[in-house]
């Protein structure tokens, strides 16, 4: 082609593109919300971020020829739906990340509230509209001032589907004021200084928990806060209809056992303050909230909740009152009933544990009609930039919280402390339950009684506890109702129940089919727990169970094997069911076996499993195990006393506030009653009696139901407890078992005669089992069936052949496996190599691996895994534990990580912290078991560690983390260079460093170039 023809062709191509672009600009990006809470909901009731497109023409336009993207390198990321946008009209698209396969109007990407690009492209992939969405606050939109206009602004009232001109626009978003003191405990007074970067703003404050308005006082530089009491304010607002019954489901019965009564006396208050910046033409700043405990002395933890009172107590919007709704505002559910709050949580010494913004809703069922209500807490990115990351609960594996519950007494205000104490009783069992701690609670600075701050058993809890991806969890309730997951999850469970009902489970093959899909130990402990606790609000309600959505995979960590597991929750119906009394004889076993219409579908799985004779024996013996240990009165009664002593510290204030627990049987009597602790003392005394007598009735109910033979006393002993112990059925008799005597042996338990019980002698390291003294039997495990009280003593002796083993060591690790070494699924996953320095093979069954020192039992090796003598074993750190026993539930970070090997006694055997490892390199001991570590260019998995003489460390430049949100970029080596923007201008220089701070650089795409000529693309999104 000659030069002239070439230029003519180029001109025509440019004109074509310009003409096409001009035509396509009839469709424009018109308005966006990148942090949506209440501004708009899709047809499913979800609050995804949204994008509004506008058709500026007088004709309808087909959208299927357009694309949307948040990626400047991929303009055709998401194809618009196959539909038309009418003339001079708009269409709403949802940036949910769910994609068109979920719904044609849902994009396959989400929007970041910190700001990002949004690109609209035509059918040729050419951009026709491109905006940089600024950082937006929750429910603030960024849009054209009028539909299709070139000028943009902020809207505090967004206009999805309506004309943008129908709402006032603003030119700026104010930043939050700077407050010089955090929430905390102070003496005497607090002189609070407040400032703002913009000298033209007005700073206003509110001392009653409300969001400031222009009618609130102006804060000039500082304000002095002191410990001053005030009159009751919010506590005089009725939280149910009280004497105004019947109203909807609020009946006379409910009025009498949970009707509202005003506080008896003036309540304690603490100092709270909300601060906000205002300026004409700008959207007000976010509210800054603080709680100050000034000269306060509390015996319990302190929980402070601030929320705008209109959203809690007004007839129109208040979710804590009856209000205007026919069934009570407090029965509202879902995201639209969520209210923004500021939460400060202090320990009993007054130290601040966490301070976060969060959403709060009313929780529970019957408890919504109660005076004091459950509050469910939602920590979200729409409220705060982070989540609480504290060890809130003793012995909890979790240290990051997305959901909590602030629980009241229960479905009636006099149920305290049944729910929490029931959880305490099952804390050592193989069944999920909530950990908790009690707190003296303040709402908008006013005393609000005792709440239990509790873990909330939902998908977020399971994700964190078991390190599971969100989309892998099937979470069901009651008969198989879908709580979280897919409809197929419910179908799968109901099919399992149908199989159990249709087939004889006394046939072992059928039984095995069912138990291959459930964690039978968890299921057994769950039913035994509910039965022992006497929960009368079960089993036809209050059931939750879950599984990881994967093929059933044996020998992997609990939670990753695809089996159904049950969770204990909502236990305020325990101890016989009535909140104001206790019924020790309540036959929960009978309820668990009921097959009438109102129970059949809930009890079907248990009823059919118990038809298997072997399982029935296992169930009865396991019940006896627990009654002989964790449910033994000598164990349970001290736990009750501990809980009571804790609540006693604040019970008088609680009763003054809510007038419950109460000896009165009617609301009228309670109104005239002088608050006292008589009912509280009675209830806890009755619970104590329950704990003493309940084991007898649990045994009696099984005896009556299944026609068992008499109870017998089994006594076990050892000749020397320093040499070994005995396992009776499922419990090992040692100092760690609940309920053992101070000297451990001899130990006595009560079982049923004519039921076979396994006994196993367990020698300690360096000793060996000899015989059972009374019988002379030398089998380490025996099965006994007794007709009378009996004694069995295990005799141990020193093992003359014992040689102590050298510890297994972490020998080599590869955290950036590109194409070095494949697992059995041909995947190039990260791995860690263990080395056995002994001349005999070692079984590491019972060991753990972890990538978090605070979670030593993160990955359990719960089946035989043999390391040959002087040999190696590869463990794949691929977060795919369902693939087999040597695949963990965590991965390794190529930029550096921690790996620990932990013994069965939960002691660290070996650990390693390592820095960034280059692609396809490894980091290992210089030779097997050596103390010196080095980098291997040629890794040696499953082989002796060995350095090849020609190996050198690469000079490849790694920039991380990228994209960057934290404001600091790290380099894998020291460099000198600069950052360039997309126009080629230098925005930041640096010299001889391995890190650089980028907080002063606007978000966007930049190019890093070193003096050596190396270039890297970097995305800043802070």
d(CA 767, CA 780): 13
Helices (H) then strands (E): counts for the chain: 15, 56
pLDDT tens column, 921-937? 999 999 999 999 999 99
Q: Quick check: 630 pLDDT over 70?
A: yes
Strand runs labelled E in 937-985: 959-960, 968-980
Q: Quick check: 22 pLDDT over 80?
A: no
d(CA 438, CA 455): 12
- Does residue 961 have a cis bond before it (omega within 30 degrees)? yes
Confidence of residue 970 (pLDDT cuts 50, 70, 90): confident
CA distances from 755 to 377, 413, 511, 702, 707 (A): 48, 44, 20, 13, 12
- What integer pLDDT is reported at residue 447 of this predicted model? 97
Q: What is the mean pLDDT of residues 710-719?
A: 97
Q: Quick check: 25 pLDDT over 50?
A: yes
Architecture of domain 809-936: Sandwich (2.60)
Do the beta carbons of residue 276 and residue 203 sit within 8 Å? yes
Q: What is the mean pLDDT of residues 204-210?
A: 97
| Cα-based torsion angle of the residue sequence 343, 347, 351, 352 in order, rounded to the nearest 10 degrees | -20
Matching residue, tokens 């087909």: 62
Strand runs labelled E in 326-472: 339-346, 352-363, 374-378, 403-407, 436-443, 446-455
- What integer pLDDT is reported at residue 28 of this predicted model? 96
CA distances from 966 to 362, 687, 970, 996 (A): 35, 52, 11, 11
Q: Quick check: 939 pLDDT over 60?
A: yes
Dihedral of alpha carbons 735, 740, 745, 747, sign: negative
Neighbours of 643 (CB within 10 A): 18
Length of the chain in terms of residues written: 1022
Structure tokens belonging to residue 652: 């008088």
Q: Quick check: 520 pLDDT over 50?
A: yes
Q: Please, which residues have CB within 8 angstroms of residue 768's CB and are 6 or more apart in sequence?
A: 796, 797, 798, 799, 802
d(CA 720, CA 865): 31
Q: Please, which residues have CB within 8 angstroms of residue 964's CB and are 6 or more apart in sequence?
A: 998, 1018, 1019, 1020, 1021, 1022
d(CA 682, CA 923): 65
d(CA 525, CA 221): 60
- What integer pLDDT is reported at residue 825 of this predicted model? 86
Q: What is the mean pLDDT of residues 936-961?
A: 75
Confidence of residue 954 (pLDDT cuts 50, 70, 90): low
d(CA 79, CA 64): 7
Q: What is the mean pLDDT of residues 773-798?
A: 97
Q: Please, which residues have CB within 8 angstroms of residue 499's CB and are 6 or more apart in sequence?
A: 510, 513, 514
CA 929 from centroid of its chain's CA atoms: 39
Q: Quick check: 11 pLDDT over 50?
A: no
Q: Quick check: 13 pLDDT over 60?
A: no
Confidence of residue 959 (pLDDT cuts 50, 70, 90): confident
Structure tokens belonging to residue 544: 């939750």
CA 806 from centroid of its chain's CA atoms: 39
Structure tokens belonging to residue 393: 């609960």
Q: What is the mean pLDDT of residues 792-820?
A: 94
pLDDT tens column, 467-506? 888 889 999 999 999 999 999 999 999 999 999 999 999 9
Q: Please, which residues have CB within 8 angstroms of residue 208's CB and are 6 or more apart in sequence?
A: 233, 272, 309, 444, 445
- What integer pLDDT is reported at residue 266 of this predicted model? 93
- What integer pLDDT is reported at residue 982 of this predicted model? 63
Specify burial of residue 519 (Cβ count, 10 A radius: 0-12, 13-18, 19+).
buried
d(CA 898, CA 856): 11
pLDDT tens column, 972-1017? 788 898 888 766 678 888 888 888 888 778 777 777 888 877 777 7
d(CA 146, CA 602): 57
Least confident residue range of 581-595, 654-668, 922-936, 1003-1017: 1003-1017
- What integer pLDDT is reported at residue 14 of this predicted model? 37
Q: Per residue in 891-915, is it b (16+ CB within 10 Å) or e — as a string?
A: bbbbeebebbbbbeeeeebbebebe
Q: Where are the domains of the chain?
A: 3-169, 711-774+784-792, 809-936, 959-1020
- Does residue 876 have a cis bond before it (omega within 30 degrees)? no
- What integer pLDDT is reported at residue 171 of this predicted model? 94
Structure tokens belonging to residue 343: 């939460």
pLDDT tens column, 843-859? 999 899 999 887 888 88
CATH placement of domain 3-169: 2.60.40.1260
How many alpha carbons fall within 13 Å on the CB side of residue 115?
16
d(CA 915, CA 936): 14
Structure tokens belonging to residue 142: 């960024």
d(CA 720, CA 763): 10
d(CA 627, CA 641): 19
- What integer pLDDT is reported at residue 978 of this predicted model? 87
Specify burial of residue 409 (Cβ count, 10 A radius: 0-12, 13-18, 19+).
buried
- What integer pLDDT is reported at residue 572 of this predicted model? 94
d(CA 727, CA 31): 68
Instruction: Return the percentage of the chain with pLDDT > 70, whole number.
Output: 95
Do the beta carbons of residue 852 and residue 898 sit within 8 Å? yes
Structure tokens belonging to residue 623: 């019940």
The pTM score is: 0.84
Do the beta carbons of residue 446 and residue 234 sit within 8 Å? yes
Neighbours of 188 (CB within 10 A): 9
Do the beta carbons of residue 235 and residue 267 sit within 8 Å? yes
d(CA 408, CA 441): 10
- Does residue 661 have a cis bond before it (omega within 30 degrees)? yes
pLDDT tens column, 500-516? 999 999 999 999 999 99
Helix 520-533 with 600-609: angle, nearest 10 deg: 120
| 3 state DSSP class of 570 | coil
Mean pLDDT of the chain: 91
Structure tokens belonging to residue 783: 């099965």
Do the beta carbons of residue 663 and residue 673 sit within 8 Å? yes
Neighbours of 982 (CB within 10 A): 10
Q: What is the mean pLDDT of residues 540-544?
A: 96
DSSP 8-state secondary structure symbol assigned to residue 793: E
Q: What is the mean pLDDT of residues 812-823?
A: 92
- Does residue 261 have a cis bond before it (omega within 30 degrees)? no
Structure tokens belonging to residue 382: 């729409």
DSSP 8-state secondary structure symbol assigned to residue 247: B
pLDDT tens column, 55-93? 999 999 999 999 999 999 999 999 999 999 999 999 999
């Amino acid at each position: 082609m000659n030069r002239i023809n070439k230029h003519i062709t180029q001109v025509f191509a440019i004109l074509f593109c310009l003409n096409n672009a001009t035509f396509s600009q009839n469709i424009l990006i018109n308005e966006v919300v990148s942090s949506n809470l209440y501004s708009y909901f899709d047809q499913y009731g979800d609050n995804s971020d949204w994008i509004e497109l506008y058709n500026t023409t007088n004709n309808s336009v087909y959208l299927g020829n357009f694309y949307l993207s948040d990626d400047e390198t991929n303009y055709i990321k998401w194809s618009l739906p196959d539909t038309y946008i009418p003339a001079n009209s708009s269409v709403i698209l949802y940036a949910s990340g769910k994609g068109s396969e979920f719904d044609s109007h849902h994009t396959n990407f989400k929007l970041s509230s910190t700001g990002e690009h949004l690109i609209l492209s035509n059918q040729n992939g050419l951009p026709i509209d491109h905006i940089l969405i600024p950082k937006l606050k929750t429910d603030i939109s960024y849009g054209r001032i009028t539909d299709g206009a070139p000028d943009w602004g902020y809207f505090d009232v967004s206009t999805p589907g309506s004309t943008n001109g129908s709402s006032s626009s603003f030119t700026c978003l104010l930043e939050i004021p700077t407050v010089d003191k955090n929430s905390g405990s102070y003496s005497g007074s607090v002189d609070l200084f407040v400032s703002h970067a913009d000298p033209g703003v007005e700073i206003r404050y509110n001392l009653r928990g409300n969001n400031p308005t222009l009618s609130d006082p102006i804060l000039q530089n500082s304000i002095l806060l002191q410990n001053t009491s005030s009159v009751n304010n919010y506590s005089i607002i009725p939280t149910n209809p009280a004497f105004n019954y019947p109203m909807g489901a609020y009946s006379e019965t409910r009025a009498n056992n949970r009707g509202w009564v005003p506080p008896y006396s003036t309540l304690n208050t603490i100092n709270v303050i909300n601060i906000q910046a205002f300026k004409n033409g700008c959207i007000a700043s976010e509210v800054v909230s603080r709680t100050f405990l000034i000269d306060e002395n509390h015996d319990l933890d302190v929980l402070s909740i601030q929320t705008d009172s209109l959203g809690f107590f007004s007839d129109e919007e208040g979710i804590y009152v009856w209000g205007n709704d026919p069934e009570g505002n407090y029965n509202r559910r879902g995201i639209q009933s969520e209210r923004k709050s500021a939460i400060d949580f202090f320990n009993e010494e007054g130290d601040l544990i966490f301070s976060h913004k969060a959403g709060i809703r009313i929780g529970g069922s019957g408890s919504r009609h109660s005076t004091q209500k459950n509050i469910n807490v939602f920590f979200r990115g729409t409220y705060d930039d982070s989540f609480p990351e504290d060890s809130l609960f003793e012995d909890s594996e979790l240290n990051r919280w997305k959901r909590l519950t602030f629980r009241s007494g229960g479905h009636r205000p006099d149920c305290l402390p049944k729910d929490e104490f029931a959880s305490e009783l099952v804390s050592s069992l193989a069944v999920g339950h909530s950990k908790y701690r009690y707190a003296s609670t303040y709402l908008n600075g006013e005393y609000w009684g005792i709440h239990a701050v509790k873990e909330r058993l939902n998908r977020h809890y399971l994700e964190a506890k078991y390190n599971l991806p969100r989309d892998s969890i099937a979470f069901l309730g009651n008969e198989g109702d879908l709580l979280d997951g897919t409809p197929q999850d419910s179908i799968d469970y109901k099919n399992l129940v149908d199989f159990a009902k249709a087939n004889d489970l006394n046939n072992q093959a059928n039984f095995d089919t069912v138990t291959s899909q459930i964690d039978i130990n968890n299921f057994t402990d769950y039913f035994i727990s509910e039965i022992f606790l006497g929960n009368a609000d079960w089993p036809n309600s209050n059931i939750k169970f879950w599984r990881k959505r994967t093929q059933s995979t044996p020998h992997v960590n609990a939670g990753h094997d695809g089996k159904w597991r049950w969770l204990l929750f909502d236990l305020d119906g325990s101890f016989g069911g009535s909140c104001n009394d206790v019924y020790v004889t309540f036959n929960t076993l009978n309820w668990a076996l009921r097959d009438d219409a109102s129970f059949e579908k809930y009890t079907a799985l248990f009823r059919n499993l118990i038809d298997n004779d072997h399982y029935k024996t296992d169930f009865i013996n396991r019940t006896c195990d627990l009654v002989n240990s964790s449910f033994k009165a000598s164990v349970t009664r001290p736990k009750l006393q501990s809980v009571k002593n804790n609540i006693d510290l604040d019970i008088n204030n609680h009763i003054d506030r809510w007038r419950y627990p109460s000896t009165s049987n009617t609301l009228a009597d309670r109104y005239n009653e002088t608050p006292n602790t008589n009912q509280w003392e009675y209830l806890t005394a009755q619970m104590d009696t329950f704990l003493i007598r309940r084991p007898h009735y649990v045994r009696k109910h099984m005896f009556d139901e299944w026609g068992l033979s008499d109870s017998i006393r089994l006594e076990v002993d050892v000749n020397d407890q320093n040499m070994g112990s005995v396992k009776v059925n499922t419990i090992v008799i040692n100092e760690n078992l609940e309920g053992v005597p101070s000297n451990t042996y001899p130990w006595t338990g009560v079982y049923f005669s004519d039921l076979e019980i396994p006994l196993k002698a367990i020698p300690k390291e360096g000793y060996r089992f000899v015989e059972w003294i009374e019988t002379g039997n030398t089998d380490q495990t025996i099965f006994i069936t007794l007709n009378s009280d009996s004694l069995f003593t295990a005799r141990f002796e020193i093992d003359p052949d014992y040689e102590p083993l050298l510890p297994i060591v972490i020998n080599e690790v590869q955290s950036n496996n590109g194409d070095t070494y494949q697992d059995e699924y041909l995947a190039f996953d990260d791995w860690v190599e263990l080395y056995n320095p002994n001349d005999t093979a070692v079984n590491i069954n019972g060991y753990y691996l972890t990538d978090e020192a605070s979670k030593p039992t993160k990955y359990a090796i719960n089946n035989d895994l043999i390391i040959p003598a002087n040999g190696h074993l590869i463990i794949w750190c691929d977060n795919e534990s369902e693939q087999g026993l040597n695949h963990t539930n965590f991965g390794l970070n190529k930029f550096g990580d921690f790996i620990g090997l932990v013994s069965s006694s939960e002691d660290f055997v070996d650990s390693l912290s390592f820095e960034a490892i280059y692609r396809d390199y490894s980091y290992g001991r210089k030779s097997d078991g050596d103390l010196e570590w080095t980098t291997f260019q040629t890794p040696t998995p499953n082989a002796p560690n060995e350095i090849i003489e020609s190996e050198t460390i690469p000079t490849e430049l790694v920039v991380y983390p990228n994209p960057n949100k934290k404001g600091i970029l790290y380099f894998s080596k020291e460099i000198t260079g600069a950052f360039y923007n997309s126009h080629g201008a230098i925005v930041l220089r640096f010299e001889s460093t391995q890190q650089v701070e980028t907080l002063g650089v606007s978000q966007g795409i930049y190019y890093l170039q070193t003096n050596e000529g190396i270039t890297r693309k970097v995305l800043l999104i802070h």
